[in-house]
Each structure stands twice: as C-alpha cells, then as structure tokens.
Amino acid sequence: MAEKKSDVLQGTLDLMVLKTLHAMGPLHGFGIARRIEQLSKDVLQLNEGTVYTSLLRLQQQGWIDSKWGTSENNRKARFYSITRKGTRQLELETENWERIAAVIGRVLRLERQG
C-alpha cells in the first residue's frame, strides 16, 4: 500500500498548510493533518510530524500566527491562523503553482501525442 502513495513534493506541504488555514480559519496541528488527509484521499503519504516543521517554517517567515487555546474536546492546543502577509504569499504561490502545473501538463500532453 505504502509504496503507491507519492511522497509529498518538497515545498508543496507549506502551500497546502497555508491554503488549509486560509480556507478553514484557525486550526491546530492535528486538525490540519486531518484536513490534508481528507482532501488528498490517501493519495499523498504524510508523516504527520512534518506538518509541524512546515508550521514552524511558515511562522518564522511571518506568514502564519499561533495562539494557545482550547480544542473542541477541551484540550489545550495551539491554534494556527494565516496572517495578511500569509494571504498575499498564498496568492502568489497559488499563481506560481498553477502556472507551473499548466506548463508541466502541456509538456506531458505533448509527450503523449508525440
């Protein structure tokens, strides 16, 4: 099973985390991991620990913020939320990603036809 999942592309995890926070509002690490799991429908294999590395990276860039709060089942948890700078960055990255994806898509289609 495990072999069929693709490893998360370097750098794309940050983008996914940002998008998740943008779409869902403040979330804790476990929630983010669940959301990504849900959306990727088991296509992507993820060591959930790496989400935290990504969170720290984003936080050090000032793209997300964190606050301690209480989770739905009354546990103390750290909630992450996207900042204004993060939103701008997300737009930029999304654009970037789409452009690259489009190019790669075109190249791959070309291959198939040729």
Q: Is residue 99 close enough to count as binding other proteins by CB under 8 A?
A: no
Candidate residues 47, 84, 102, 103; the one interacting with other proteins per rule CB under 8 A: 47
Q: How many residues does the chain have?
A: 114
Give, in order, the Cα–Cα distances in Å from 2 to each of 5, 55, 94, 103.
6, 25, 28, 29
Question: Does 44 sit near other proteins (CB under 8 A)?
Answer: no
Binding region for other proteins (CB under 8 A) out of 12-20, 49-57, 92-100, 106-114: 49-57
Whichever of 12 and 61 has its CB closer to other proteins, that residue is 61
| Cβ-based nearer residue to other proteins, 12 or 30 | 30
95 binds other proteins (CB under 8 A): no
For 22, counting Cβ atoms within 10 Å of its Cβ (0-12 exposed, 13-18 middle, 19+ buried), the class is middle
CA gap 110, 114 in Å, rounded: 6
Residues that bind other proteins (CB under 8 A): 29-30, 33, 47-50, 52-53, 56-57, 60-62, 75-78
